[in-house]
Structure 1
């Protein structure tokens, strides 16, 4: 599941500062590869955890982490389907899809936060605290992990370009102005 979180986060970051059409096209390609890798990593990780619980005759989805995990996996499936739909729509239909694309972007940021919250709950499960040999259990049950997650989320959210959520495309970091001279760019 760590591979899922890393590739999902990198897949979001790769699109943050694209400006030109060529950068956006290349960024979309990287985004697609990373997010599909994240998707398959999540499926493999979920399957391994589920299979392990079956082998050990343990209950499924009883902790906050387990319940959020099911929500994350369902949400991920919907995000992947919607992203593929938007990216593979024929060019002649691109205008209505561009208006929908901002919803994929907004729900992707919500998904990003949800994944990291689920990860925090995962590291604080009884299994992790009793079986962790890398990080001492006193740190797993403390707020240090939560602080790291907050910092990671703030780092991503600070890179947002809110004007892109309106479906507008510009060549700079600044929101588009409504002056006639800006349309000649």
Structure 2
């Protein structure tokens, strides 16, 4: 019998080889997809952290702005997880409510929050970043020595640690630290 074609056994072997190769390709694809998702999450967390820190730095550089010397602007509260400062943003010599001249940054419930006019009728809060694992403030005086008295603060160092979950389980963290020298303190 000189018939041309393939036998059933040859067909089964070919299908088995194709299935193994397909399984390997699919496994590689899944791992690569998971890695891309995780890397995108890392980028998102780092970007959110940099944006939050950038916004804080812009405001903190104005701490104590008081060109007329009558507003008594400066640092009001200086704890490890909360900072409240004032600035005479409209340059009229008075810290006024409703004009974002009293600003608070705090770590609360896994979020970095910014508040305007805390403790007044015009108080408002916004979340600057979620998934915050930790936020710590360190305060230095004019000689770069640690200080707890808000009126002696001249330099503010803050560390922001953010966290996100990996797609395959577990999580990753990113920490960002910066130092702000008060221009008006």
TM over 0.5: no
TM-score calculated relative to the size of structure 1: 0.26
Which structure has more helix as a fraction of its residues? 1
Q: Which has the larger radius of gyration?
A: 2
TM-score calculated relative to the size of structure 2: 0.26
Q: Larger relative contact order (C-alpha < 8 A, sep ≥ 6)?
A: 1
Which structure has more strand as a fraction of its residues? 2
